[in-house]
Amino acid sequence: MSELAIFGGQPVRKKLFPAYRVIGQEEKDAVNRVMDSGILSRYLGCWHDDFYGGPEVRSLEKEWSEYFGVKHAMVVNSCTSGLIAAIGAVGISFGDEVIVSPYTMAASATAPLWYGGIPVFADIEPEHFCLDPVSVRAKITERTKAIIVVDIFGQPYDAEAINAIAKEHNLIVIEDCAQAPGAKYRGRFAGTLGDVGVFSLNYHKHIHTGEGGIVVTNNDKLAERVRLICNHAEAVVEDKGVADLTNMVGLNFRLTEIQAAIGREQLKKLDRLTKERIDNCSYLTGRLNGFPGIRSPRVRAESSHVYYVQPFLYNENEAGVERNKFIAAVKAELPVTELREAEGQQISCGYAKPLYLLPLFQKRIAFGNNGYPFNSAAATVSYQKGICPVTERLYEKELFLHEFMRPPATRDDLDDVVRAFQKVYEFKDELKKNDEQ
């Protein structure tokens, strides 16, 4: 009988890991408060005081802007909606190019398409996984209008370098900080480092409202345009006296009063929840870094990391086993996690498939059947495999991620994770032998 669970042996742990739960009595009381008020939403899609929503929405926006030290905060119904609104607000038009990351949730790269913009993929940093400033600079053309940076896995982008490039070329920086609420770069919060920042309140983020998002900016004009796009701009601009009608076809990206009330309570928990993640990751780093071929990436200088997930770099030559086989064996030693939120955390190889390899980009068709919007500049933008070698290398063999550090994980839980790695290392020859058969 094999020792490894993947070949029929007994696993290190059978008990499910604690499910990630951040909703408590405070949120229940907040929901009841809204229900008792009878006001589940108070938005009007016309120029009226209620254009700005109800009391919970306005309170969440005020509290969010105060916490993050930013002038404007606008709630939306998702981070995706916020990214689309931000792209529209900065004036992206048909044929404009927007530099994006290939290694993130797809919405970060597809948002420009809604206004006819063309996503241009730059490569990422091998150590921090955010957009590489050198690659960004190389992708700039006369059609480039903006850069969407992503604070991937919980760490801010290289704001000094990329913001300088943007200033040099008169580009807008939109910061997707969905995975990094509370992280800082040189004393400033992620989300406030570019021209516009977009947070997520999706159910598996650090704090959440089920679904939701928040757009932040210090720019008065951009704030106004985001609000208009999120709430039926075309019906408001005339009465409000808006002169620039670019992209002023509005949508309904509004958040409900119930979600906003939950968000207010969640914001109060952000410091504690991020500290627990950081402490747990520090504990695991100290124990997993000792294994051959496994290394925790360095955190960017003068930055903090809030660990939406914890990344590790993997060197198969040093480990002696190909990454996918090794991680599959580790997963087999730990409980099944088919329903992540109900059954606990997970561990995985790589991350998202490089986005330019998705059918959307390979076939160059997004809206309609005539190749829109790629038919504006498709000949000059490449989506072929190989355009972002660092991204592909990380995806294919050099990176793995886990979520075991999420609250309310205990030291005993984390020790079981370490024991799973220890066991696979101890019996890794079984993996090699099985591969040879």
For the stretch 54-70, pLDDT in tens is: 999 999 999 999 999 99
The pLDDT-based confidence of 330 (bands split at 50, 70, 90) is very high
Q: Determine the structural domain holding residue 275 and report its residue range.
A: 5-17+270-351+392-436
pLDDT at 1: 45
Tell me how many helices (H) and strands (E) the chain has.
Answer: 16, 13
Last residue of a domain, one of 266, 289, 324: 266
Q: Based on the domain organization, do 295 and 179 belong to the same domain? A: no
Last residue of a domain, one of 237, 266, 295: 266
Q: Based on the domain organization, do 285 and 138 belong to the same domain? A: no
Last residue of a domain, one of 266, 282, 302: 266
pLDDT at 136 over 60: yes
State the DSSP string of 305-343.
---SSEEEEE-HHHHSS-HHHHHHHHHHTS---SSHHHH
Give the ranges where 70-150 is alpha helix by DSSP (H).
79-89, 107-110, 133-139
pLDDT at 100: 99
What does the pLDDT average to over 327-351?
Answer: 77
Report the C-alpha gap between 284 and 287 in whole angstroms: 5
What does the pLDDT average to over 223-251?
Answer: 96
Report the C-alpha gap between 384 and 57 in whole angstroms: 44
Q: Based on the domain organization, do 210 and 324 belong to the same domain? A: no
pLDDT at 342 over 60: no
For the stretch 413-427, pLDDT in tens is: 999 999 999 999 999
Query: Is 359 a member of any domain?
Result: no
Report the C-alpha gap between 418 and 289 in whole angstroms: 11
Q: Based on the domain organization, do 226 and 278 belong to the same domain? A: no
Q: Which of 15-24, 97-106, 201-210, 326-335 has the lowest mean pLDDT?
A: 15-24
Query: Is 134 a member of any domain?
Result: yes
pTM (two decimals): 0.95
Query: Is 175 a member of any domain?
Result: yes
Query: Is 360 a member of any domain?
Result: no
Q: Based on the domain organization, do 127 and 191 belong to the same domain? A: yes
Specify burial of residue 270 (Cβ count, 10 A radius: 0-12, 13-18, 19+): middle
Query: Is 156 a member of any domain?
Result: yes
Query: Is 385 a member of any domain?
Result: no
Clarify whether 221 is annotated catalytic. Answer: no
What is residue 218's three-state secondary structure?
A: coil
Q: Based on the domain organization, do 171 and 310 belong to the same domain? A: no
pLDDT at 365 over 60: yes
Helix, strand, coil shares of the chain as percentages rounded to 5?
A: 45, 15, 45
One-letter amino acid for residue 19 of the chain:
A
Q: Considering its fold, how many domains does the chain have in total?
A: 2
DSSP conformation class of 397: I
Q: Decide the pairing of beta strands 184-185 and 144-150.
A: unpaired
CATH number of the domain encompassing residue 88: 3.40.640.10
Q: Based on the domain organization, do 248 and 274 belong to the same domain? A: no
Q: Based on the domain organization, do 262 and 274 belong to the same domain? A: no
From the list 139, 145, 205, 428, the catalytic residue is 205
Q: Based on the domain organization, do 175 and 283 belong to the same domain? A: no
Percent of the chain with pLDDT over 90: 89
Q: Based on the domain organization, do 297 and 249 belong to the same domain? A: no
Report the C-alpha gap between 400 and 323 in whole angstroms: 8
Query: Is 381 a member of any domain?
Result: no
Query: Is 229 a member of any domain?
Result: yes
Q: Based on the domain organization, do 163 and 310 belong to the same domain? A: no
Q: Based on the domain organization, do 184 and 291 belong to the same domain? A: no
CATH number of the domain encompassing residue 429: 3.90.1150.10
Report the C-alpha gap between 343 and 17 in whole angstroms: 7
